[in-house]
Amino acid sequence: MAVNETVKYGIIGVGMMGREHLINLHHLRTQGVVVVCIADPHLPSQQLALELAKSFDWPLKVFSGHQELLDSGLCDVVVVSSPNMTHYQILMDILNHPKPHHVLVEKPLCTTVADCRKVVNAARKRPDMLVQVGLEYRYMPPVAKLIEIVKGGTLGQVKMVAIREHRFPFLVKVNNWNRFNSNTGGTLVEKCCHFFDLMRLFAGANPVCMMASGAMDVNHKDEIYDGKVPDIIDNAYVIVEFDNGARGMLDLCMFAEGSKNEQEISVVGHTGKGEAFVPESIVRFGSRMEGRDGVQTLKTENRLIKYEGLHHGSSYLEHLNFLSAIRVKGAKTPAADLNDGLISVAMGVAAQLSIEKGRFVNIEEVLDEHNC
């Protein structure tokens, strides 16, 4: 696609995240981006998206399902931001459609490893399409800075990666889809795929085995939907062993509104330590040699960000990255690709299984074709 050619987008699922994509894409309008159509079966979501688009002067064609959107041939790129349990079928329909569409699919890629694998296999047959997975935490300025420090070798060989997410409970979603593991893949898949993805990046390695402990101890206990109480865990500790000897640890708490930061990341190598804090947007790093007095503190920002939105500008940078991959197709691959999507889901599935079984789970156990 030529650099000055207009890139036409369609958005499948225009709830909270789909509308966030719509606003982000509007901030990319000067780069030849336009959203031309949406698909969502829920009238209130359609209405809210239409109102937004009207304020941007973007007339939208509205469809109630993704198949009609694909058949319309109106767009070059689709953003899939529907609930997790719908990603698999929507992705397969996109990948099997005669018209090529580049795809940005929200995390998690799918809710099971088996479905992720089928999508990966189907995508292999479509070299005319790019697929990027919405693992956008990589782009948050303090996280991106810490990745740069780690990759620059300042900390030496990474040995330990600890990620703490202490935040508010899951928000209310359209038809409450996020209250059940069968729809989300489980909390450690649904949201923690972001952190497993970061651990792989920091460790520069792949997981070997995982051990987790977690439960639904505080949130959602008094909620009932169609006679069923939610089954999603709200806190967990997860330990990961990587194939280069590095270790990871996730500390998740979703009843921790009384926190200054939502995410605190610590990466320790054999010569130094780095930390990132979100939303304070601070990075600290120091060396064993210089000790506490040598620790540097940086306030991070990224001047490319034109819209902060709900995720500290990371959705904007994600779109910028994907747009440049689309424009130079073949010369550049998406930053977070299908394999990243698959492994981040597999790690979440392994952690959920570890809680269920009360034992270490080897990643091969969930990646094995015969088990999934």
Q: Which of 1, 16, 52, 114 forms a contact with ligand NAD (CB under 6 A)?
A: 16
Which of 151, 189, 191, 190 is closest to 167 using CA atoms?
191
Q: Tokens 């503190």 correspond to what residue?
A: 297
How many helices (H) does the chain have, and how many strands (E)? Answer: 12, 15
- Interaction of residue 173 with ligand NAD, rule CB under 6 A: yes
- x/- mask, ligand NAD, residues 110-139, rule CB under 6 A, reads ------------------------x-x---
- Interaction of residue 82 with ligand NAD, rule CB under 6 A: yes
CB of 262 or CB of 280, closer to ligand NAD: 262
Task: For residue 335, give every residue at least 6 positions away whose Cβ sits within 8 Å of its Cβ, in sequence order, or none.
Answer: 132, 138, 318, 321, 322, 325
Q: Which residue is nearest to ligand NAD (CB)?
A: 15
- Interaction of residue 179 with ligand NAD, rule CB under 6 A: no
Smallest distance, ligand NAD to C-beta of residue 308, A: 14
Smallest distance, ligand NAD to C-beta of residue 205, A: 24
Rounded CA-CA distance 100/104 in Å is 13
CB of 82 or CB of 266, closer to ligand NAD: 82
- Interaction of residue 311 with ligand NAD, rule CB under 6 A: yes
- Interaction of residue 286 with ligand NAD, rule CB under 6 A: no
Q: Tokens 């708490």 correspond to what residue?
A: 253
DSSP calls for 116-143: HHHHHHHHHT-TT--EEEE-GGGGSHHH
Task: For residue 246, give every residue at least 6 positions away whose Cβ sits within 8 Å of its Cβ, in sequence order, or none.
Answer: 158, 159, 160, 161, 203, 204, 205
Task: For residue 15, give every residue at least 6 positions away whose Cβ sits within 8 Å of its Cβ, in sequence order, or none.
Answer: 40, 42, 45, 81, 82, 173, 174
CB-CB contact of 185 with 345 (8 Å): yes
- x/- mask, ligand NAD, residues 195-234, rule CB under 6 A, reads ----------------------------------------
Q: Which of 24, 81, 111, 302 forms a contact with ligand NAD (CB under 6 A)?
A: 81
Rounded CA-CA distance 205/138 in Å is 16
Q: For ligand NAD, how many residues bind (rule: CB under 6 A)?
A: 27
Q: Which of 7, 9, 14, 197 forms a contact with ligand NAD (CB under 6 A)?
A: 14
Residues 33-72 touching ligand NAD, rule: CB under 6 A, are: 39-42, 45, 66
Q: Where does this chain bind ligand NAD (CB under 6 A)?
A: 12-18, 39-42, 45, 66, 81-84, 86, 106-107, 134, 136, 173-174, 177, 190, 311
